[in-house]
Structure 1
Amino acid sequence: MNPIKKEDIRQEVFDLYDDYAHNRIDRRCFVQRLSVYAIGGLTVPALMSFLMPDYTATAQVTPGDTRVQTKYVHYNSPKGGGSIKALLAWPKNLKKKTGGIVVVHENRGLNPYIEDVARRAALEGFIALAPDALTPLGGYPGNDDEGRALQAKRNKDEMLEDFIAAADDLKNQANCNGKVGVVGFCFGGWIANMMAVRMPALSAAVPFYGTQPSEADVARIHAPLQLHYAGLDTRVNEGWPAYEAALKSHHKKYTAYVYANANHGFHNNTTPRYDKAAAELAWKRTIDFFKKQL
């Protein structure tokens, strides 16, 4: 059987996966609905395998890359989950203090993709801290399905406290210059937006396809924002016009990019929703923004 190609998959399949990945339908419902698209030689197992993340050969900066250094650390989140595990990554042979970036995972814990993003940030010259909000429940369990189920058991506002505490911890790292930004994806995009609301001293925030804060919260934002949205992501994008209007009304510093024909999750290179051109452009913009702000 020939391998499935992304261009052969209907948009409805990606939309269905988005519903499943965000717990709007369970696995049984996902499989049942997916069977409608198992035509023309495609089978449900083949579609399932195609849609699921592949962590075996997708890392852009592999664990053990000699250009960066990494270690797992714990920091205290007194208003959140207590002692939180995180991956700390920094450039090898760092010559001077540099800016810090909190890397916030999606709705499934600190999986290999997010760890890779932290290493990518370190390769660009930053100190990156990627917390695992699943730490109080035992940590990322090794697969995304169980990770989503665990994360659904935590209160999102308590998890927000975990990432705020991460920024405070990162700011005090010996090699940090005191400037800290945040980049987050999906759930992490909401966290990035809310850290900008909650942290007056935050130096920069980069939400990727994150849901938006309320208009009342927008008034509290001080950090410059760079926002990335996927053109096909109708679920998240429906909140953008009101958010933009509030940002303009309150004279906030922001730049927003919408990537045409890209799906929610387009930066995540472990799933077929990945859009290489959009992801690479968005990441370049992100790094350029952090280099300016941090």
Structure 2
Amino acid sequence: MTATTEHSIPTMSAKDIPQEAFDWYDEYAHGDIDRRTFLSRLGSLSIAGLTLPVVAGALLPNYALAEQVSFNDSDIQASYVTFDTPNGHGQGRGYLVIPKGVDANNKAPTVLVAHENRGLNPYIEDVARRLAKAGFIAFAPDALFPLGGYPGNDDEGRVMQKTLDGAKIEGDFMDAASLLEKHAYGTGKVGMVGFCYGGYLTNTLAANMPNTIAAAAPFYGTPAKAHIEQIKGPLQLHFAELDKRVNATWPAYEEALKKHKVPYTAYVYTNANHGFHNDSTARYQEKNAELAWSRTLEFFTQNLAS
């Protein structure tokens, strides 16, 4: 029997993939090129001993690799709940995970989890479970609920999310934050973490809901478009060194944060690509991902304590 390391890509590792392939995947994942163009570019690479299906398979998500906390872990209780979103699409649905022993008499801080630009996929659900395992009530809304919810694959989810009104998605997540602030088992302290598009949402809610979001941790997210001066809670920002697209937005954002005296800490992870925390693809970097996550948990523990 051959053993494989947890979260590894058995057929190919990141070091085997040219940086151009990661850059093209980022363009594809964010809608700048279509799937055919992405695969055509991959096919143009000369990678000794590796076929196009192997390279593409390493870059595209395999969510069997992304489960760190089982959905039936005895330390958590997970369920799907619907909620009213008057500032968004009218009604939303999300994945709520509560730590064992938390109730109205033994409350816990809450964390809103914002997914990427493709809906509530299994990786983001696992992030919510990881937070609950660490003692936080976690809630991960699905922006695609108005269209029937995450369809089971990222390609279709990405296309679906592009058809939605961005302002209404923001409203859905704002109403989710308000729900957490008033949750019967919550302390009233709300943190937020998001990835990629969810990182943008995290920056946006920190700016638009400064009295609700007590601590925000965007991972490779672009800045809020307005009201940066309103941010009160501290930001902990995580960037990937090789993520040219997002990193190009950081200098102006940092200047605005400094101008308005917003408390923040920014980390840049060496040789990391956009999406390095997502353990379902070859972009995942275990060392950097675990360091960023440990910093995030410590950040929430410090800033969401009652």
User: Which of the five TM-score ranges fits, normalised by the shorter chain?
Assistant: over 0.9
> Which whole-Å CA distance do the structure 2 matches of 1:172 and 1:49 have between them?
43
Question: TM-score, normalization: structure 1?
Answer: 0.97
| 2:46 maps to 1:46 | no
| 2:276 maps to 1:247 | no
Match 1:139 to one of 146, 149, 163: 149
Name the counterpart of 1:210.
221
Name the counterpart of 1:20.
28
Secondary structure of 2:231's aligned partner: coil
Q: CA, structure 1 residues 210+177, in 2 after alignment: closer, same or farther (shift >3 Å)?
A: same
> Which whole-Å CA distance do the structure 2 matches of 1:83 and 1:127 have between them?
21
> Which whole-Å CA distance do the structure 2 matches of 1:81 and 1:133 have between them?
9
Kindly report which structure 2 residues correspond to 1:1-294, keeping only aligned pairs within 5 A, or say none. Answer: 3-94=11-102, 96-201=106-211, 202-214=213-225, 217-294=227-304
Give the root-mean-square deviation of aligned CA atoms.
Answer: 1.2
Q: CA, structure 1 residues 38+148, in 2 after alignment: closer, same or farther (shift >3 Å)?
A: farther
Secondary structure of 1:271's aligned partner: coil
> Which whole-Å CA distance do the structure 1 matches of 2:187 and 2:11 have between them?
48
Secondary structure of 2:109's aligned partner: strand
Deviation, 1:116, is 0.2
Q: Aligned AA for 2:16?
A: D
> Which whole-Å CA distance do the structure 2 matches of 1:100 and 1:264 have between them?
26
Q: Aligned AA for 1:204?
A: A
> Which whole-Å CA distance do the structure 2 matches of 1:51 and 1:188 have between them?
20
> Which whole-Å CA distance do the structure 2 matches of 1:280 and 1:43 have between them?
31
CA contact (8 A) 2:65 2:279 kept: no
Comparing 7-16 and 29-38, the one that deviates more: 29-38
> Which whole-Å CA distance do the structure 2 matches of 1:58 and 1:148 have between them?
19
Pairs aligned (count): 292
> Which whole-Å CA distance do the structure 2 matches of 1:244 and 1:3 have between them?
40
Comparing 109-118 and 85-94, the one that deviates more: 85-94
The answer for unaligned runs of 5 or more in structure 1 is: none
Q: Aligned AA for 1:171?
A: E
> Which whole-Å CA distance do the structure 2 matches of 1:39 and 1:274 have between them?
20
> Which whole-Å CA distance do the structure 2 matches of 1:217 and 1:200 have between them?
10
Comparing 5-14 and 231-240, the one that deviates more: 5-14
> Which whole-Å CA distance do the structure 2 matches of 1:191 and 1:262 have between them?
22
> Which whole-Å CA distance do the structure 2 matches of 1:105 and 1:273 have between them?
17
CA contact (8 A) 2:87 2:174 kept: no
Question: TM-score, normalization: structure 2?
Answer: 0.93
CA contact (8 A) 1:38 1:44 kept: no
Deviation, 1:38, is 4.7
> Which whole-Å CA distance do the structure 1 matches of 2:94 and 2:66 have between them?
21
The answer for unaligned runs of 5 or more in structure 2 is: 1-9
Q: Aligned AA for 1:212?
A: P
> Which whole-Å CA distance do the structure 2 matches of 1:185 and 1:58 have between them?
15
Secondary structure of 1:56's aligned partner: helix
Task: State the Cα deviation string for residues 23-56 of structure 1 (Å, max 9, x = none).
Answer: 1100111111111115422221221111111112
Secondary structure of 1:203's aligned partner: strand
> Which whole-Å CA distance do the structure 2 matches of 1:26 and 1:219 have between them?
37
Q: Aligned AA for 1:14?
A: F
Task: State the Cα deviation string for residues 171-198 of structure 1 (Å, max 9, x = none).
Answer: 1111100111110000000000000110
Deviation, 1:217, is 2.4
Q: Which runs of 4+ in 1 moved over 4 A?
A: none
Secondary structure of 1:24's aligned partner: coil
